[in-house]
Amino acid sequence: MQTIRRLETQAGNLYKEKIIRGFCHLYSGQEACAVGQRAAMTEVDNIISAYRVHGWTYLMGVPPLGVLAELTGRKSGCARGKGGSMHMYAPNFYGGNGIVGAQVPLGAGVALACQYKGNGGMCLALYGDGAANQGQVFEAYNMAHLWKLPTIFVCENNGYGMGTSAERAASNTDYYTRGDALPGIWVDGMDVLAVKAATSFAR
């Protein structure tokens, strides 16, 4: 968690100095979510997320220098400097995605591949409270439940979707209840051990 925070602090500084160009979405304050989930994953499990993926990229095997190289557009970066902040990849890590909520149905597709291969793996599909209002998210819930896909949908609620408070954007901010037939649980995302336990339970 400390490494991710320091990595993000440095990324924020490089962005302010205009060394990182384009977008730079930081994961500061959400480190316990990633570290707790990663601790519950096996080697055949997968993860797909949205914008804030620098920390996840590190957790999935890319050294901090590889993350910073990607952010600064160098070919030694994990996507050869062409993906930047939003599009980082590593083995079993299907990166960040620039379209709000688009990673959720993709995560269901990764879970379908796990089911098809019969490898015992699953996919964590992460999204924020802003993406929780996207129609494709509910379509993915439906498909995953119908086909019994090995996926865990994780809403990382930091209270704001691109600066708009959750209360102003959603009629129901209890995001864990939105899965209809899918069971949901609320977890304190600041408690790394609670996140690990919840992820293990869900898995």
pTM to 2 decimals? 0.91
Tell me what pLDDT residue 16 has: 95
Q: How confident is the model at residue 177 (pLDDT cuts 50, 70, 90)?
A: confident
pLDDT greater than 80 at residue 186: yes
> For the chain, where are the E strands, in sequence order?
46-48, 123-128, 151-156, 160-161, 164-165
Domains and CATH numbers, the chain: 29-60+84-202 (3.40.50.970)
Instruction: Specify the 3-state DSSP secondary structure of 6.
Output: helix
Percent residues over pLDDT 90 in the chain: 72
Residue 171 has pLDDT above 80, yes or no: no
Residue 76 has pLDDT above 90, yes or no: yes
> Please, are residues 57 and 90 in contact by the beta-carbon 8 Å criterion?
yes
105, 112 Cβ separation under 8 angstroms:
no
Torsion of CA 97, 121, 189, 148, to 10 degrees: 90
pLDDT tens figures, 106-163? 999 999 999 999 999 999 999 998 888 889 999 999 999 999 999 999 999 887 777 7
Mean pLDDT calculated for residue range 169-174: 81
For 23-44, what is each residue's pLDDT tens digit? 899 999 999 999 999 999 999 9
